[in-house]
Amino acid sequence: MPLQPTWAIQTETRQHDLSQFTADVQPVAGAMGAYVHGLDVADMDYDQLGRLLHAFKAIMLRGQSNDLSIADYVGFGQQLGELAVDSYVEPPFADHPQVMGLVRDAASTAYNFGGDWHSDGSYLEQPGGLTVLWGKHVPTHGGDTLFADMELAWQTLTPVFREMLDGRRVLHAATGLGQKVAMRKKGDYLGFDRSLDLERIEHYHPIKRTHPETGSHSLFVNQAYSVQIEGCSDDESAAILRFLFDHSRLPAMTARMVWEPDTIMVWDNRVTAHYAIGDYGGQRREMYRLAVIGEMPI
């Protein structure tokens, strides 16, 4: 029997009992993701929100009030957990340092922040838990966000390969700046400007990560920050990581989330990786991000 090419992997559609939700839920793809109508961040049913996140991993809350204030938005995020304050990026609102602004004007030539497969803050000792992203002003088309279901990515590895990886750790690393900056280009955040005081942030985390609430296992590597498998040579590590990166973003593992006005998206970094598509040149895009601090991966 011929082997199935890796790129041809198919998965079954995840079946969900949508009757358990009072909100209107529209699944995005067979792997993960959902558009949700009927949940207002100003009066949130947090139990239902949690069940939606466990089921779909990334959800877009449609139809939010266009009068929503930054204070209300931060208040919503604080109900999800402790919010991080970014060490390197200057916040757009002095009264709310937890808010990161991701703004590109129509004529901007700034680099596409988030334009690589990553899990937010995976290089930290306590990587990002949930991320909240408010599309305050979104393009008429373009600027979608791609997600990969890293739980499904782990499940679709062969048992032999999972056994080899189980118990091993991978180094996640990033180089930050020694001072806060306005985001202008990729080098600002990755620290290519060697005239500044640079700080390399790195931590080892298990390749097989266990979700603290569901007990599910996921593949915890990403192209942006995972750099070296512990105990492997450089060549061995590079080859294995390249395979895992390619495997996790196979089409059957992914969902493409489409932005609309008055949308707030929430996703779980423990079980996903994501990629911000920068295909909206000539259009303004104004987004505000909140990062909920996660736990040390196990």
- Burial string for 239-260 (b: 16+ CB within 10 Å, else e) reads ebbeebbebbbbebbbbebebe
- Contact by Cβ (8 Å): 185, 193: no
Residue 5: pLDDT band by 50, 70, 90 thresholds?
Answer: low
Residue 188 has pLDDT above 70, yes or no: no
Average pLDDT over all residues of the chain? 89
pLDDT one-digit tens code per residue, 162-172: 999 999 999 99
pLDDT of 14: 79
- How many angstroms separate the CA atoms of 249 and 239, rounded? 16
pLDDT of 13: 75
Q: Is the dihedral of CA 217, 132, 170, 240 positive or negative?
A: positive
Out of 25-39, 105-119, 146-160, least confident range: 105-119
Residue 262 neighbours by CB under 8 Å, 6+ apart: 62, 63, 64, 65, 66, 135
pLDDT of 145: 97
Out of 61-75, 86-100, 147-161, 252-266, least confident range: 86-100
Q: What is the mean pLDDT of residues 193-222?
A: 87
Residue 185 has pLDDT above 70, yes or no: no
pLDDT of 176: 59
Residue 35 has pLDDT above 70, yes or no: yes
Instruction: Answer whether 0.75 is exceeded by the pTM.
Output: yes
21-167+209-224+232-293: CATH topology? Double-stranded beta-helix (3.60.130)
Where do the structural domains in the chain lie, given as residue ranges?
A: 21-167+209-224+232-293
